[in-house]
Amino acid sequence: MTAPLLSAAPVVRLTKTFSTPYRNVVATARTCYSPRGIVDDTEVGGPERFSPLAKSIYEAGHHTTFQHAHVQFAIENASRHFIWSFLHSHPFYNSEQVSQRYVTVKPDSVLVPALDEPALSVYRETVEKQFDAYRRLCELFHAPVEAEFFRRFNRSERMAKSHQRTIGKKAQEVARYVLPVATHAYMYHTVSAITLLRYWRVADQLETPVETRMIVGEMIRQLLEFDPEYAITLQEPLDPSVFPESRFHRAPGETDGGAARDFRREFDAQLDGKWSKLVAWTGGAEELVASAVRETLGLSSGALSDDEAIRLAMNPAANPVLGESLNLSTVTKLPRALYHAHYTFRRKISHTADSQNQRHRMTPGSRPVLMSHIDDEPDYITPEIVLHDDRARSIYDDAMATAWEAMTKLRRLGVRDEWVGYLLPNAVSVRYTESADLLNLRHKHQMRLCYNAQEEIWRASRDEALQIRDVQPRLGQYLLPPCTLRGMAKARPLCPEGPRYCGVMVWKKDVQDYERVI
């Protein structure tokens, strides 16, 4: 696993799984047609007996039988870029990874490819400068973050001392924007066995194929070591040329002829200055949702008006279940009427913000092959508080210029985009389109309109909530943060964050009046 890298090799450990996962595939398949009831794993016999059935259902695409068995891995020394580009780019997983918002990043925790000189020196020197900027900004941001923090809370000596750790974390949260996406993370990652087989089949796609093949290859090796019977249906990775994206991928040293810059300007013009721009929505969604509520209850429009039906589906005062911290909307009947309203947004946020945003797996987006957006012109997001301090702004902008200059040098030295991309800072802009049904968008806004949410996602969610309110006010009025929804449900305490309370009585504000710097 170490040949392509000079940095610490990825570490993968299979930590949890079913006792006999592959035999469970066969047992569940046979249960579907069993007149004797449930078929147990112990009843399926040996591979010579069940291999034909296993191959048959696999090749026919009947893969639900493969979804029962889940595997959990502990993964270390995986780059943030690989996690964003591959592990978290689909909805069928669960991860808990170390947060750069709350854990200080160490200088040696970064992926370094085995490049030839002088490219290797350019890469290492750039990473060193990025980490130096991170250290300086962690220190420099402490004072402005502290000042902004105590605008929210009444300052006292006791409170000032008790909140210093929180203030340090918030300074670090902003400083992390200058770190490269090559920075390592460690995590638990759980997927079904069929998802892991899919991982291996597409391991050679853009844009981190070497790291992907190393990590996923080790995941597969350990699965086969635990249960060799998976070899019955395991397929080898597809050739990279199969993926259409590869036909548009530039070769080492090749320029894009200005295509990336033209794309960025066209996309940004469509945003109209917003973080997230509503570009499509279900026409007549309010009436559609109301009708679905009446269908659920078996009532006519004369018995239940549109307004009252929407209120039952979305207002916690009428449906206190919506005020629960445990998200129950997908497993109760009335809120499922919200599935029928859909919204599509164009969005531009940083790599580090989108790494958190994509964890909302039920509001999927068409994320890019990121290096296809990149040329020699720096293109990045600047957090609000950076704009309030000239010294910080200078360090921040210099760090961005350094990263882009280094990437340009590497491309001219013939380094392929896969390795160049690891020098992208967390701040690099990510542009894509995201769609959601109202049920899952409502839950996302409930989490991300909270003042503790990551700043950019909070700003994008505020943009979205206000735009939906403009086009469909009866639905949009209920896109609110948790404290406001809990207040409507008469749940206490209003803020579910406990000691993490943001310090702002958000439940007394209208969404259009929301403001924050940190």
Q: Is residue 509 part of a domain?
A: no
User: Which of 46, 54, 26, 27 is closest to 38 using CA atoms?
Assistant: 27
Average pLDDT over residues 487-499: 91
Same domain for 132 and 56: no
* Total structural domains within the chain: 2
Same domain for 170 and 195: no
**Per-residue confidence (pLDDT) for residue 256, from 0 to 100:** 79
Cβ pair 49, 29 in contact under 8 A? no
Reading phi first (left if > 0) and then psi (alpha if -120 to 50, else beta), residue 454 is in: beta
Same domain for 189 and 89: yes
> Residue 158 corresponds to which tokens in the numbers above?
């006791």
Q: Is residue 258 part of a domain?
A: no
Same domain for 45 and 169: no
Residue 500 has pLDDT above 90, yes or no: no
User: Which of 96, 89, 90 is closest to 75 using CA atoms?
Assistant: 96
Distances (CA, A) of 241 to 138, 209, 224, 237, 246: 44, 13, 27, 11, 6
Q: Is residue 354 part of a domain?
A: no
Residue 355 has pLDDT above 70, yes or no: yes
**Per-residue confidence (pLDDT) for residue 156, from 0 to 100:** 65
Same domain for 38 and 160: no
Stronger pLDDT, 154 or 360, i.e. the higher one: 360
Give the separation between CA 127 and CA 425, rounded to whole angstroms: 10
Stronger pLDDT, 72 or 497, i.e. the higher one: 72
Same domain for 166 and 152: yes
Longest Cα–Cα distance of the chain, Å, equals 77
Same domain for 42 and 175: no
Domain boundary residue, one of 233, 248, 263: 248
Buried b (16+ CB within 10 A) or exposed e, 370-409: bbbbbbeebbbbbbebbeebeebeebbeebbebbbebbbb
- Give the domain CATH number at 64: 3.30.1360.170
- Cα four-point dihedral sign 179, 199, 435, 507: negative
The band of 48, judged by pLDDT with boundaries at 50, 70 and 90, is: confident
Q: Is residue 481 part of a domain?
A: no
Residue 517 has pLDDT above 80, yes or no: yes
**Per-residue confidence (pLDDT) for residue 310, from 0 to 100:** 97
Domain boundary residue, one of 230, 248, 266: 248
Q: pLDDT tens digits, residue range 116-171?
A: 999 999 999 999 999 999 999 999 999 998 888 888 876 666 667 778 888 888 99
The band of 2, judged by pLDDT with boundaries at 50, 70 and 90, is: very low
Domain boundary residue, one of 425, 457, 485: 425
Q: 435 pairs with which residues across the strands?
A: 344
Residue 362 sits at φ, ψ, to 5 deg, of -95, 5
Give the single-character DSSP code of 275: S
Domain interval for residue 403: 119-182+382-425
Q: Residue 208: how many CB atoms within 10 A of its CB? A: 26
Give the separation between CA 186 and CA 82, rounded to whole angstroms: 12
Q: Is residue 343 part of a domain?
A: no
Residue 345 DSSP SS3: strand
Q: 433 pairs with which residues across the strands?
A: 346
Query: Considering the chain, what percentage of its residues have pLDDT values greater than 70?
Result: 98
Cβ pair 449, 462 in contact under 8 A? yes
- Identify the residue whose tokens are 């610490």: 8
Same domain for 89 and 27: yes
**Per-residue confidence (pLDDT) for residue 101, from 0 to 100:** 87
Give the separation between CA 445 and CA 178, rounded to whole angstroms: 27
Q: pLDDT tens digits, residue range 184-235?
A: 999 999 999 999 999 999 999 999 999 999 999 999 999 999 999 999 999 9
Same domain for 148 and 207: no
Contacts of 181 (CB under 8 A, 6+ apart): 79, 80, 81, 84, 351, 421, 422, 423, 424, 425, 426, 428
Segment of 56-60, 428-432, 489-493 carrying the highest mean pLDDT: 428-432
Q: Is residue 439 part of a domain?
A: no
Residue 241 has pLDDT above 60, yes or no: yes
The strands making up 276-281's β-sheet, listed across from edge to edge, are: 276-281, 342-350, 429-437
**Per-residue confidence (pLDDT) for residue 482, from 0 to 100:** 94
- Identify the residue whose tokens are 């109202």: 438
- Identify the residue whose tokens are 């599935």: 339
Same domain for 89 and 188: yes
Same domain for 242 and 174: no
**Per-residue confidence (pLDDT) for residue 21, from 0 to 100:** 95
Q: Residue 183: how many CB atoms within 10 A of its CB? A: 24
pTM over the 0.85 mark: yes
**Average pLDDT along the chain:** 94
Q: Is residue 43 part of a domain?
A: yes
**Per-residue confidence (pLDDT) for residue 515, from 0 to 100:** 92
Cβ pair 14, 223 in contact under 8 A? yes
Q: Residue 226: how many CB atoms within 10 A of its CB? A: 16
Residue type present at position 238 = L
Residue 451 has pLDDT above 50, yes or no: yes
Residue 109 has pLDDT above 70, yes or no: yes
Give the separation between CA 270 and CA 125, rounded to whole angstroms: 37
Give the separation between CA 241 and CA 247, rounded to whole angstroms: 7
**Per-residue confidence (pLDDT) for residue 253, from 0 to 100:** 78
Q: Is residue 213 part of a domain?
A: yes
The band of 1, judged by pLDDT with boundaries at 50, 70 and 90, is: very low
**Per-residue confidence (pLDDT) for residue 158, from 0 to 100:** 60
Same domain for 96 and 83: yes
Could you give the residue ranges of the DSSP H alpha helices within 413-454?
417-420, 438-448
